[in-house]
Structure 1
Amino acid sequence: MSELILETSTASMRRNFWRGVWRVMKRKPSRMAGVVILLGFTVMAVIGPLFYPENLPYDPNAKYAPISWEHWFGTDGQGKDVWAQLVIGSRYVLLSALVTGVITVVVGAGLGLFSGFKRGRWDTVLMRLTDMKLTIPGLPLLLVLSTVWSFGSAIEMGLVLGLLGWGGVARAVRSQTLSLRERGFIEAARGLGLSTTHIVGKELLPTMAPYIAMNMLVAVTGAVYAQVGLFFLGVLPYEADNWGVMLNLAVFGGGAMTTTAALPYLLAPLLAILLLTLGIVLVVDAMDEIFNPRLREE
C-alpha cells in the first residue's frame, strides 16, 4: 500500500513538472524562439546535407562572388557556394557537440548521483577521481592528440571532448544530490527498502532532470567552441567539413580581415555560431527557472 502511495505521488510530481515546464516556456516568447532555433539547426544538420553532392561543384570564374539569390552567402576562393558549405558543415559540428553533451551528462551525472547518494568510501574514491580529471588541462591535451589523431569523424571528436569535460558536471550534480538526499520523499523511499538503483533512477534523476539538461546544453556550447577553435587554428587537418575550417580559410586563405571580398565567407559561420549560441542561451534561461523555483514569476 505504501509503495502504491509513493508511486502515485511520484507520478503526480512528474505531471506537475511537465506542466511547469510548459508554463515557463510560454511565459517568455524568447524561450520558444530558442527552441525553434535549436530545432532549425537540428533539421539543417540532419536533412540539409542530403540536398548537396558529396563534392560540391566549384566555378573558378566565380571566386568570392557577392551575395545573391543564387548564392545566399556568396562563394569561396574556389567558387563553391558558402551556404552549401555551412549546411554540410553543420552536421559535423552539431553531431560532435551532441555526442560531447551526452557523454558529459551520462558520465558526470551518473558519477555525481551515485557518489552523492552512497557517500562513504564510494564518494571519496569517485570524487578523488573527479579531482584528478579536473586537473588535466583540456586544450594542451587536445593539441597533443591532434598530432596523432585527425578527428575526421564527428563521433571521435565528441568522444574526446566528452571524456575531457565531465568533471565539472560530476561535482555539480553531487552537490545537488547531497541536498536532495535528505528530502522527505527520498527518506520514504529508503525507509521502504527500495534499491539504490531504483532511488537514483526513479526518484533522484527525474528531480534533477532540468539541472542535468541545463548542463548538457552548456556542454554542447563548449564543444562547439572547442572544435571550431581547433579547426580555425589549423591544428587539425582539413579532412572534415567544419565551420572552423571555413573560418580558417576565410581569414588565412582569403584575407577576410583585410579585404571585403571574402567577408561573407567569414561571416557565415560566425553568424551560425552566434545564432546557435543564442538558441542555447534562451533555452538554458528557461531551464534555470525550471530548476530554481525562486526564479519563477508569480
Structure 2
Amino acid sequence: MSLTTAPATAPTDDASATEPQRPRRAPRIGQSFAMFRNGKSLAGLAILGVFVVVAVLAPLIAPYDPLEKDFMALRQPPSAAHWLGTTHMGEDVFSQIVYGTRGVLVVGFLAGVLATLVAVIVGVVAGYVAGWRSESLSALTNVFLVIPGLPLIIIVASQYEDPPLMLIAGVLAITGWAWGARVLRAQTMSLRNRDFVQAAKANGEKLWRIIAVEMLPNLTAIIASSFVGTVTAAVLGLTTLAFIGVIPITNLNWGTILFWAQQNGAFPDYWWWYIPAGLCIALLGMALSLVNFGIDEYVNPRLRSAGERARAARRKGLQVDGGVTEVRTVSGTGDDARAG
C-alpha cells in the first residue's frame, strides 16, 4: 500500500502547489481594468469608440470629399443630399465633420501619450530619488507648469506655413505634462517608504526595476487619469488654435469648421454650420470626462466602496437612492426589520 500511495501523493502535492499560482495573475489583470467597469467609464468608452470608428472609416462614412464644392447648393439647410447642410462654398458639412474627427483624435491622443510618458518619467523619478536630483526635477516641473501654453503654441505654429499635426501634438505635450508629473511625484513619495519598496531596495533591486515593477502598478489609475485629462486639454487646445486661425485650413478639424463659420457670418442664422461641430467637441469632452470620473471613483477608496455597495444593493433589489435602506430577514423568522 505504501508503494502505491507514495507516487499518488506526489502529483497531488505538485498540483496543489501550482494551482494557486494561476488564479493570482487573473485578479491582477482584472484589477488593472477595474477602473473601466462602472457605468460612467463604459458610457464614456462607448462614445469614444464611436468617434474612433468614424475617424478610421471616414472615407466610407463621408458621402462627399470634405472640400468638394457645389455652387448650386450654397448655404443649404440639412436635406437628403446634404445631411448637415452646406457651407458658403457648397461644401458638405457632414463630410467635413467626419474627416475633421481624424485630426482631433490624432492630435489629442498623440499629445496625451507623449505628455504622459514625460510625466511618468519625471514625476516618478523625482518622487523616488532624493537630494538635488529630486529638487532639480521638481524645479523643472514647476517651470513648465507656469509656462503659458497657448501663446507658446501660437509662436511655434506661426513659424510654419503648414504646421504638421505631429508638431502641434508635440507642442501641446510639452506644455501639458507638468501637472501630471507633479501629481505622480507626490504619490510616489508616499509609496517609496512602503514595506514592499524597502524590501526591494534591501534585496539589491535596480532602480528601474523598483520603479517599473513595484511602483508603476500602484500608479496605474493616476497615470490613466492624467492621460485622459491631457487628451481633453489637447483637444480643446487644438480646436481653440483652429478657431482663432493659427492652424491653416489644410489641417481640417472641428475648430477649422467653426473658424470658417465665424468668418463668413454663419452666426446665428446658419445653425447647421457651427452647431454640429460644437456638439462634437462637447460630446467628446463629455466622453473623456465620464472616463475620468470612473477612474476617479476607482482611485478614491471612499467613492469606490460606496459605488460597490450601491451596485451590490441594486443586484439584491434594494433601493439605494432613498434615505431609508431596507434590511431583508431570513424567511421563516416571522419578523421584518427596517433600518432608517
With normalisation by structure 1, the TM-score equals 0.88
Alignment CA distance shift 1:292-1:55 (3 Å): closer
Deviations 1:56-103 (A, max 9, x none): 422111112211233221111111111110111111111011111011
Instruction: Determine if the alignment matches structure 1 residue 78 to structure 2 residue 89.
Output: yes
Say if 1:72 and 1:83, in contact at 8 Å, map to a contact too: yes
Cα distance in 1 between the residues matched to 2:77 and 2:85: 5
| Matched ranges for 1:84-99 at <5 A | 84-99=95-110
Runs in 1 of length 4+ with deviation above 6 angstroms?
none
* Cα distance in 1, alignment partners of residues 237 and 205 from structure 2: 42
How far apart, in 2, do the equivalents of 1:151 and 1:184 lie?
A: 53
Task: Tell me how far 1:243 sits from its aligned partner.
Answer: 1.0
Please tell me whether residue 159 in structure 1 is matched to residue 167 in structure 2.
no
Are 2:193 and 1:185 aligned?
Answer: no
Q: Out of 34, 37, 55, which is 2:47 matched to? A: 37
> Partners of 1:22 and 1:129 in 2: how far apart?
32
Contact 1:231–1:248 (CA under 8 A) maintained in structure 2: yes
1:289 aligns with 2:297: yes
Whether 1:195 aligns to 2:206 is: yes
Gaps of 5+ in 2: 1-19, 310-340
Alpha-carbon distance in 1 for matches of 2:224, 2:33: 15
Name the CA distance, whole Å, in 2 between partners of 1:134 and 1:285: 24
How far residue 182 of structure 1 moved from its aligned partner, in angstroms, is 1.6
User: What is the CA–CA distance in structure 1 between the aligned matches of 2:78 and 2:252, rounded to whole Å?
Assistant: 21
Q: What CA deviation, in whole Å up to 9, does each residue of 1:116-163 have, x standing for no partner?
A: 111222101111111222232112212222321245322111011101
Tell me whether 1:108 sits opposite 2:119 in the alignment.
Answer: yes
Does the 8 Å CA contact 2:66/2:91 hold for their aligned counterparts? no
Give the aligned partner of residue 5 of structure 1: none
Equivalent residue letter for 1:248: F
| Structure 2 equivalent of residue 19 of structure 1 | 30
Alignment-mate amino acid for residue 289 of structure 1? E
- Residue 67 of structure 1 aligns with which residue? 78
Which of 198, 216, 220 matches 2:231? 220
Q: 1:173 — aligned with what?
A: 184
Equivalent residue for 2:148, pick from 131, 137, 153 = 137
- Using the TM superposition, give the Cα deviation of residue 269 of structure 1 relative to its aligned residue in structure 2, in angstroms: 0.9
2:276 paired residue number: 268
Deviates more, 1:162-171 or 1:184-193: 184-193
Q: Tell me if structure 2 keeps the 8 A contact 1:65–1:75.
A: yes
Structure 1 vs Structure 2 CA RMSD: 2.2
The higher radius of gyration belongs to 2
Q: Is the 8 A contact 2:162 2:247 kept in 1?
A: yes
Shift of 1:284: 0.6
C-alpha distance in structure 2 between counterparts of 1:106 and 1:195, whole Å: 20
Letter in 1 for 2:295: M
For residue 158 of structure 2, give the secondary structure of its aligned residue in structure 1.
coil
Tell me the residue number matched to 2:132: 121
Supply the distance in 2 between the matched residues of 1:116 and 1:151 (Cα, whole angstroms): 40
Alpha-carbon offset, residue 50 of structure 1: 5.5
Distance 1:49 1:241 in 2: 14
What SS does the corresponding residue of 1:98 show, helix, strand or coil?
helix
Deviation at 1:55, TM superposition (A): 6.0
**Higher percent of residues as helix:** 1
Per-residue deviation, 1:276: 0.5
- Match of 1:60, SS? coil
* Counterparts in 2 of 1:247 and 1:50: CA distance versus 1, 3 Å: same
- Structure 1 pair 102–240 and aligned structure 2 pair: CA distance change class (3 A): same
Structure 1 equivalent of residue 266 of structure 2? 256
Aligned residue pairs, count: 285
Residue 47 in structure 1 maps to residue 57 in structure 2: yes
Matched AA of 1:116: G
CA displacement 1:241-264 (0-9 Å, x = unmatched): 1111100111221x22242xx211
> Is contact 1:150-1:236 (8 Å) kept?
no
TM-score normalised by structure 2 residue count = 0.78
Aligned partners of 2:60 and 2:31: how far apart in 1? 38
Any unmatched runs of 5+ in structure 1? 1-7
In 2, the alpha carbon distance for the partners of 1:145 and 1:244 equals 18
